[in-house]
Amino acid sequence: MPEEHSRFGYSAVSCFEQCPYRYQLTYLNELKTIPSADPTDALLLGTAMHTGIEKDIQTAVNEYIMSYPVITDEIINETIKIEYLLPIVKKMLPEGAHELQIKDKNFIGTMDLIVPAHLTMEEKDDICWECGKECNEECSGRCRYGKYKGFYDLYDFKYSNNWIRYQDSRQLHIYKYYFEKTHPGKRIRSMYFVMIPKVQIRQKKTEDIFQFRMRLVKELDKVKDEVKIYPITYDSTKVIEHLEICQNILTTTTFEKHPTKLCGWCEYKKFCEEKDGIDMLPSIERVQTNMSENKKIWIYGAPFSGKTTVCDDAPTPLNLNTDGNVKGVTMARLPIKNTVIGRQIKPAWEVFKDAIDDLEKGSDFETVVVDLLEDTYESCRLYMYEQLGISHESDDSFRAWDKVRTEFLSTIKRLMNLPYNIVLISHEDTSKDITKKSGDKITAIKPNIQDKIANKIAGMVDVVCRVVVDERDERHLSFKTDGVQFGGGRLKGITTNQIPLSWDAVEEFYKSLDGEKPKRRTAGPEVVDDTAKPESEPETVETAKVDEPPFEPDEPETTETPRRRARRTETAEPEPTETPEVEEQPKRRVRRTRG
């Protein structure tokens, strides 16, 4: 390990203990991340508390606010907490030296506050901690604390409600060990954690910002007595544990990932999920496709056309039902509706998302049917209205439309990525007309959902098909797509526009796509088509030459612009129409050259 990385701090060792891979990214690779924009970011709030205790409240608030590119209501709410709690903490703490750094060949750390345990002006045999000289009457004017014995109290500030976690922390034990090692003759008499409680409440939907902040101050009044100083008893075994982990770091060559529930708060979460070690690119080998595995289908059609019934024959289906029309099918069903739990009502959209959460954990179901898709979108809209405090997207036209679509599509994408057969069901919409170039109007047939949503959903499924009922009451799934009907799919090798409306037909349709695929680019003579006639290509070329006009265009013809060509054409139109003859060809040629 490089020399600059052989000096360990408490944070680095704790990072390695939680996740060696994160330690590698942070301290060895020195990978930087984009600063957090979260107003409740623990690092920024903790820094603000330290600054306020060391300096003053206004400096702490200013530094905290300037850490963000835009000031929001949530940031102001956090500053209210800082301004309320800091005076209480400062009154409880004695005067001392802040941010004292400890450096050893194997350790580096910073103590939040160190306070002389005994102040005296009579003792003359002590060494001043700041100037390094013997304390005397004159020294009291130069040094910050005058004369004192070599005993100190150590304080560390924590802006947290989790006191139990810090009871077992090795941090202060390590600070005491290395402080006494690097400062001969000086001792840490007592160690303390200063616990500053967090108030975490949310603004109610019935509150405006003023009412919420009034309630926030009341909550702060309730916790002001919870600002406490907890003593810590020194335990040398914690120092030994720290040294053992340091030795383990020095001998580690492969830093493995250690997934835990804390990964959700890691700044490298997205990087870690996307990056497998160092190589992010897959193998160059082509992937063997299996069309009939995990089918993704979007079926739409008129009411009572058999959309839900066909899914009843799918393998082990689960119907996420929104309209209650499942009396004629035997599949398991989960109602997606507002659900009363205790005294609270869980919105339908949360029920839908909870179902996806459970499906992600694994289940015995093989097919998931969303019936109906447009109803889940409406549930998402109502849910987001409550979250945003609006009654319609037009109330916040700059953000609301995008937020609703993002919430809906990201959730549907989670569903589509699950290892199940996924069938989305929608009603068809025939209320829109399309005007052709001739002026005739024809009816457009589309799923009953917004076009922007429909186009995104179509990109997530294998095929989009419509249930068609002909005059003989025979029902089919149509994959046809044109200017009138919305349909089609990404699957290659489709040789039919429709199949019978049955799950067996769907299975056969997918199996037909698992046959021999057209050969892609391969090396060797196989690329050449043996059935082609070698002599046919020259004949075609010669024929093309004979069919060319009996004259060669002059040089200006190659530089003729579209505008000149259009002007030439307009000039030629008023001339009397004559039967073209061979001898008139030179005149046309001259006219074209002049143009």
pLDDT at 503: 92
Rounded CA separation 593/35 (Å): 66
Q: What pLDDT is stored for residue 351 in this prediction?
A: 93
DSSP 450: -
Which residue(s) pair with 490 in the sheet?
A: none
**pLDDT tens for each residue of 196-243:** 999 988 888 888 999 999 999 999 999 989 999 999 999 999 999 999
Which range, of 32-41, 65-74, 134-143, averages the lowest pLDDT? Answer: 134-143
How far is it, in rounded angstroms, from Cα 496 to Cα 3?
A: 68
φ and ψ of 428, to 5 deg? -95, 155
Query: First CA to last CA across the chain, in angstroms?
Result: 77
Q: Residue 457 and residue 374: Cα distance in Å, rounded?
A: 11
Per the model's pLDDT, the better-predicted residue between 433 and 169 turns out to be 169
Where do the domains of the chain lie, and which CATH numbers do they carry?
296-512 (3.40.50), 551-568+586-595 (no CATH)
Question: Is the distance from CB of 489 to CB of 457 less than 8 angstroms?
Answer: no
Task: Tell me how far apart the alpha carbons of residues 13 and 245 are, in angstroms, rounded to a whole number.
Answer: 7
Cα-based distances in Å from 386 to 400, 403, 496: 11, 12, 46
- Long-range Cβ pairs for the range 568-574 (8 Å, 24+): 568/592, 568/595, 571/595
- Within the chain, how many helices (H) and strands (E) appear? 20, 17
Model confidence over 442-481: pLDDT tens digits? 778 889 999 889 999 998 998 999 999 888 888 999 887 7
Q: What is the pLDDT of residues 248-278, one digit of tens each?
A: 888 888 888 888 777 877 888 877 776 544 4
- Helix (H) or strand (E) holding 77, with range, is helix 73-92
443 CB neighbour count, 10 Å cutoff: 12
The residue behind tokens 């829109």 is: 432
Q: How many CB atoms lie within 10 A of CB 539?
A: 10
- Distances in whole angstroms, Cα of residue 393 to Cα of each of 149, 352, 382, 579: 69, 21, 10, 65
**Global model pTM greater than 0.75:** no
Whose tokens are 């608030």? That residue is 61
Angle at 109 (CA atoms; ends 107, 113), nearest 5 degrees: 145
Q: Is 62 exposed, middle or buried (0-12, 13-18, 19+ CB in 10 A)?
A: middle
- φ/ψ (deg, to 5) at 188: -90, 115
The answer, yes or no, to whether residue 320 has pLDDT greater than 70, is: yes
Cβ–Cβ under 8 Å, residues 366 and 315: yes
Tens of pLDDT, residue by residue over 522-536, are 444 444 444 444 444
Q: How confident is residue 411, by pLDDT bands cut at 50, 70 and 90?
A: very high
Q: What is the pLDDT of residues 87-140, one digit of tens each?
A: 999 999 998 899 989 988 888 899 999 998 754 444 434 555 445 555 554 444
The alpha carbon torsion through 89, 92, 96, 99 (nearest 10 deg) reads -30
Q: Is residue 422 scored above 70 in pLDDT?
A: yes
Peptide bond into 372 cis (omega under 30): yes
Quote the pLDDT of residue 376.
Answer: 95
Residues in the chain: 595
